[in-house]
Amino acid sequence: MTENLKTQKVEAKVDSATVKKKRRVMQTRGKRKEAIARASIKEGTGRISLNGRGLDAYDDPFIREVVTEPLNFIETKNFDIDINVRGGGFSGQAQAARTAIARAIIKFTKDEKLKTQFINYDRSLLVEDPRRV
C-alpha cells in the first residue's frame, strides 16, 4: 500500500513539472525619458493589459496605436501581455510600453528574422531611449 502512495506522489510531481514548463512567463523592460514599463508575456489568447486595464479602456487612439505597433509584425497573437508603466507622461509611457512589448515578443518567440524587421522599421522598438530628465 505504501508503494502505491509513493507512485502517486511521483506522478503528481511530474504533472506539476510539466504544467510549469507550459506556463513560462518572461519579463522585459522598456524606458523612455522618465517612463519605465515592465512587461510580462505568457501563452494565452492575445489579451493586452496596461496598468491592470485593457487597452480598450484608453480613449486616446494614438496611445492604443503606439502600444500595439509591435503586434503589427506578427501573424499569430497566442500570448497575453501584462504591462505596468510608471513615471513620465502619456506619450512617454506609451513608447516605453511599446519597447517592452517588442522586447517581450522577441524574447518569447526567439525569432531573429522578426528582430531584424523591428530594427529595420524603427530601432527604438528594441533600444531604450538613453535620455534622462
Q: Taking the model in full, what pTM does it have?
A: 0.78
**pLDDT of 13 higher than 80:** no
Per the CB < 8 A criterion, the answer to whether 98 and 70 are in contact is yes
Per the CB < 8 A criterion, the answer to whether 66 and 98 are in contact is yes
Please name the residue that has the C-alpha cell 493586452.
Answer: 48
What are the tens digits of pLDDT across the range 54-101? 888 888 899 889 998 998 888 877 889 999 999 999 899 999 999 999
DSSP code per residue over 61-103: HHHHHHHHGGGGG-S---EEEEEEEESS-HHHHHHHHHHHHHH
**pLDDT of 124 higher than 60:** yes
pLDDT score recorded for residue 18: 46
What value does the mean pLDDT take over residues 38-55?
Answer: 90
pLDDT band at 14 (very low <50, low <70, confident <90, very high): very low
Of the ranges 11-15, 25-29, 37-41, 129-133, the best mean pLDDT one:
37-41
pLDDT score recorded for residue 81: 92
pLDDT score recorded for residue 98: 93
Whole-number Cα distances in Å, 51 to 9, 54, 82, 111: 39, 8, 8, 27
Domains of the chain: 25-125 (3.30.230.10)
